[in-house]
Amino acid sequence: MTETTDISAPLPPAVERFVLHWGDLGGQWGVNRSVAQIHALLYLSDHPLTGEDIAGTLGIARSNVSNSLRELLGWNLIRRVPVMGERRDHFVAEIDLWEMITRIAAGRKEREIDPAIAALRACVAEADADPALGMVARRRLRAMLEFTETMESWYGQMLHVPRGTLAKLIRLGGRIVKFLPARIE
């Protein structure tokens, strides 16, 4: 039989510390603290939780919990799950770390990188059409666009690398450089 956590009881110290820390990190990453805390609580929970469970456990207003759950659903980091005999919505978090990180990266790319590339392309086109603009600014805009497009291309390539291979590449870290030609320009 699986041991379950009593939501009405105080959180175990390690869980509380993780929830608070994840909330602080969320703020540093541009994510609302409540959203990050709810994500952390659902990630560590061994059973589905309702919005009421979450509000009571974290001491967050129910309206804030509802908005935060909508945001987490939008990022595809949590999902609703049916619970027999219950009419209220219950939620669980994605627990596969690779999948979670992939979804976060996809969301950030869509919300941040894609608009940046579009803006940079427009700036480069405008700069190329402006004879009054100096070469330094023109070169720097193009360099920033090329770098951003290169990183976007690399991201797309990494999505198709099998997880096991990707994990090995990550563990190799800087040691992989010894397999490359001595001088890369």
Domain chopping of the chain, boundaries? 13-93, 97-164
Average pLDDT over residues 150-165: 94
| pLDDT number for residue 185 | 57
Sheet with 78-81, edge to edge strand ranges: 49-50, 90-93, 78-81
Give percent of the chain above pLDDT 90.
Answer: 84
| pLDDT number for residue 173 | 86
For the domain spanning 13-93, the CATH number is 1.10.10.10
> How confident is the model over 122-143, as pLDDT tens digits?
999 999 999 999 999 999 999 9
| pLDDT number for residue 8 | 52
The C-alpha atoms of residue 65 and residue 52 are separated, in whole angstroms, by 8
Average pLDDT over residues 145-159: 96
Look at residues 140, 152, 155 and name the one whose alpha carbon lies nearest to residue 116: 152
Instruction: List, in sequence order, the alpha helices (H) in 5-134.
Output: 13-28, 33-44, 51-58, 62-74, 97-108, 114-128
Look at residues 19, 29, 34 and name the one whose alpha carbon lies nearest to residue 66: 34
Greater pLDDT, 10 or 8: 10
Average pLDDT over residues 77-92: 95
> How confident is the model over 102-124, as pLDDT tens digits?
999 999 999 999 999 999 999 99
